[in-house]
Amino acid sequence: MKVSTLEYELGGVTFVGELARPDTQSGPRPGILVMHEGNGITEHAKRRARELAERGYVALAADMFGGGNVAPSLAEGRPRMMALRSDLDLLRGRVNAGLTALKAQPGVDTKRLGAIGFCFGGLCVLDLARTGADVAGVASFHGIFTPPGNLPEPRIRARVAVYHGWEDALVPPEQVVALGRELSGAGCDWQIHCFGGAVHGFTHARPPEEGIPFNALADKRSWQAAEGFLAECFA
């Protein structure tokens, strides 16, 4: 696996992502965009990109906030996250800037693209799918489901996979049902996996003061399911 820093720009802002690719490539490989959580492009997002590279993908851990900056905690990153959530055109512009940067990399098969995201990043990839983006599939881990108000109706072409903690206080069961109805209405191929005992942010360990317990079993099951989902998307 080869890892390098990748800078790209949008609207005068420089974004600092991390690109991971297989050590050897016999030809173009599918590209996967990895969207980070609410405190920025942390080691967690970069690790996921590296794991995807080990599976043969070219993966970009994208930077949504600029400068590669990471807030010390989710609480301190929240203002930047909410600023993007209040400006959905800017949010989608930054997601697409990352996707464009990924497509421009040597060895990426631009006809085989996907995206995964965690928490805030899960919201980002769902919104990417809702715009009708030409990606094969998106996978959201403990994401926010609320659809944006400025799209008249979703035009989803991608396959959609969602990995959700059933005890997620930010996304109660009625929102899970609502998302299923939305995706059915959009006519896409979708799946939602719910994990008992898992809460919002279940995929990795965090500082105790954040009060978000890691659920190793749900993390393992969701990642294995996502690997199968991505393999199916690019079969």
pLDDT value at 150 more than 70: no
- From residue 206, give the alpha-carbon distance in Å to each of 39, 72, 140, 210, 217: 12, 11, 19, 7, 16
Q: For residue 174, give Cα distances in angstroms to 145, 178, 188.
A: 11, 6, 20
Please enumerate in sequence order all residues whose Cβ is within 8 A of that of 86, keeping only pairs 6 or more positions apart, or say none.
none
pLDDT (tens digit per residue) in 15-66? 999 999 998 877 899 999 999 999 999 999 999 999 999 999 999 999 999 9
Residue 234 φ/ψ region, left for φ over 0, alpha for ψ in the -120 to 50 degree band, beta for the rest: alpha
Model confidence at 152: pLDDT above 90: no
199 in Cβ contact with 212 (< 8 Å):
yes
- Identify the pLDDT of residue 234: 96
Q: Can you read off the two tokens belonging to residue 72? A: 């010390």
The pLDDT of residue 165: 97
Q: Which residues are registered as beta bridge partners of 191? A: 161
Pairwise CA distance, residues 46 & 49, whole Å: 5
**Residue 49 to residues 33, 55, 56, 208, Cα–Cα distance (Å):** 8, 10, 11, 25
> For residue range 132-148, what is the model confidence (pLDDT) as tens digits?
999 999 999 999 998 88
Q: Where are the domains of the chain?
A: 2-233
The whole-model pTM stands at: 0.95
What number of CA atoms fall less than 13 Å from residue 33's CA on the CB side?
34
The answer to whether residue 206 scores a pLDDT higher than 70 is yes
CATH class held by domain 2-233: alpha beta
